[in-house]
Structures are given as C-alpha cells and as structure tokens.
C-alpha cells in the first residue's frame, strides 16, 4: 500500500492547472443538461467518508488508512472542481438527491470490503461519464476539469482493485463466482439508473445508450478480472498500475 500512498501524495502536490480565468463558454445545447447532471455527480463526490475512514482504520494497516484519507480528499477535490463549474454557470449545488441517499445507505450496511464493492459501482461508471463529457465539449476549462477527474478515476479503480484482490484471494471458487454474479447485477442496475437519470447530457455530448452501456461493461470486466481472477481461476490477475496526474 505504500505505492498507493505515494501516488495520492504525488497527486495532491501536482494537480494540473485549470484556466479558470478564461471563463466557461459551454455550447448552448449542452448547458442545461450539463448543469443538471453535474449537480448530481458533485453531490455524490462531496461526502466526508466517515464510515469508510473508520473501516480503513480498523483494518489495521496505517498506510492503507492514510491512503484512504487521501483518496477521499481527492474525491472532495472533484466535488470542489464541479462546484466551481456550477458557480461559473450560475447554478446552485444540490444538498440532497435520491441517488446519493441510496448509495450512502448501501455503503453503511456493510464492512470495508463490501463498502468498497458498492463504492466501485459509481466509480466505474464515472470513468466513462467524465471521458464522455471531456470529448463532448470544446471549452478548455471544462475539458481540463473532466480530463483530470477521468484520470483520477483510473487511479481510484486501480487502488481499490489492489486492495480487494488481496482481500478476496482466499475465497473459494464458488463464493467467488456468486459474489461476481451478484456484483455484476448490481452494476448493471446502477448503470441503467445512471443512463436514465443522465440521458439528456449523454445525448448532448453525442454518446448513445448502447455505446455507454457497452463501454461501462468493458470497464466492469477489467475491474472484476483484477479482483476475482487470481491464480486459482486460471491465471494471474491483470495488474493495473497507478499513473500520476499529467496536464491535459
């Protein structure tokens, strides 16, 4: 876990600059759906993560607990960046939404490993979502923010995969398959909910529902392989290495 602590410390010290002084000139057809969509994602990334921090401390690895603290801070940085965008677009931030309440409720039901599995559901979708937003606008401020968040999500996924791969390595074949099937069903339900709730912005950035569904599925497959495919399932699990932040 020291590698991941170093990764998050590096990211914290080397955040790429965003040209805020230029202002945001969002395409007219994108403005309203972008605001409505970002308001929900901003709320989801603004939590304090008290339960996750508590679980990480109880895991008995101070280095991992410190990395979790920095991971949560990075999520809060995403909320801050999206908050700046909403403020520039003269839109309020949300304080409550059903989707956020659902995930908070689910995450509080379980221990560390199960909470991470629930946490990964929106994280996997966010990777594709922010890439879609980046590719769907010409505004340099928006592209810089969305590129940064998309890169960070890559690191977040790899960080949690690294922990869960070790945590699940002693699961029996049967329990591993059952866990994977249940998790896939939950992921697809989450993906469908996101597609419906954010369909306007996905349409505005030119991503059709089938493309988004398939791309999210490929992300899930890669993450699931990293967690559930050690040697006793037929070969070594893929290794996802952390990548430091770079400028867009």
> What are the tens digits of pLDDT across the range 121-176?
999 999 999 999 999 999 999 999 999 999 999 999 999 999 999 989 888 889 99
Spatial distance between the Cα atoms of 26 and 35, rounded to a whole number of angstroms: 10
Is residue 178 a part of any domain in this protein?
yes
- What is the domain range of residue 179? 2-18+27-233
Is residue 244 a part of any domain in this protein?
no
Retrieve residue 170's tokens: 């002693």
Is residue 248 a part of any domain in this protein?
no
Q: Report the CATH number at residue 154.
A: 1.10.620.20
pLDDT range class, residue 248, cuts 50, 70, 90: very low
Burial letters 212-243, b for 16+ CB under 10 A, else e: beebbbebbeebbbbbbbbeeeeeebeebebe
Is residue 186 a part of any domain in this protein?
yes
pLDDT at 246 over 80: no
Q: What is the pLDDT of residues 40-93, one digit of tens each?
A: 999 878 777 788 899 899 988 999 999 999 999 999 999 999 999 999 999 999
- The pTM of the full predicted model, rounded to 2 decimals, is 0.86
Is residue 241 a part of any domain in this protein?
no
Is residue 72 a part of any domain in this protein?
yes
Is residue 117 a part of any domain in this protein?
yes
Retrieve residue 167's tokens: 């945590």
Angle at 154 between CA 33 and CA 185, to 5 degrees: 70
- C-alpha torsion 35→145→117→50, nearest 10: -80
Question: How many domains does the chain fold into?
Answer: 1
Is residue 137 a part of any domain in this protein?
yes
């Amino acid at each position: 876990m020291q590698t991941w602590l170093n990764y998050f410390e590096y990211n914290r010290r080397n955040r790429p600059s965003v040209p805020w002084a230029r202002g945001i000139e969002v395409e007219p057809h994108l403005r309203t759906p972008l605001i409505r969509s970002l308001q929900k994602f901003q709320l989801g990334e603004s939590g304090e993560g008290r339960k996750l921090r508590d679980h990480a401390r109880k895991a008995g690895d101070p280095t991992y607990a410190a990395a979790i603290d920095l991971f949560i801070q990075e999520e809060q940085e995403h909320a801050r960046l999206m908050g700046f965008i909403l403020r520039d677009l003269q839109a309020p931030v949300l304080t409550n939404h059903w989707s956020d309440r659902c995930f908070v409720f689910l995450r509080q039901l379980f221990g560390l490993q199960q909470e991470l599995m629930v946490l990964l559901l929106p994280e996997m979708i966010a990777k594709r979502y922010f890439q879609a937003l980046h590719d769907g606008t010409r505004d340099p401020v928006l592209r810089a923010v969305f590129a940064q968040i998309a890169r960070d999500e890559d690191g977040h996924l790899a960080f949690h995969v690294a922990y869960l791969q070790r945590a699940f390595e002693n699961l029996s074949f049967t329990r591993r398959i059952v866990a994977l099937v249940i998790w896939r069903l939950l992921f697809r339900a989450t993906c469908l909910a996101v597609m419906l709730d954010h369909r306007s912005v996905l349409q505005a950035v030119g991503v059709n529902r089938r493309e988004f569904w398939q791309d999210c599925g490929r992300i899930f497959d890669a993450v699931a392989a990293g967690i559930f495919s050690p040697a006793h399932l037929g070969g070594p699990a893929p290794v996802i290495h952390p990548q430091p932040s770079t400028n867009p």
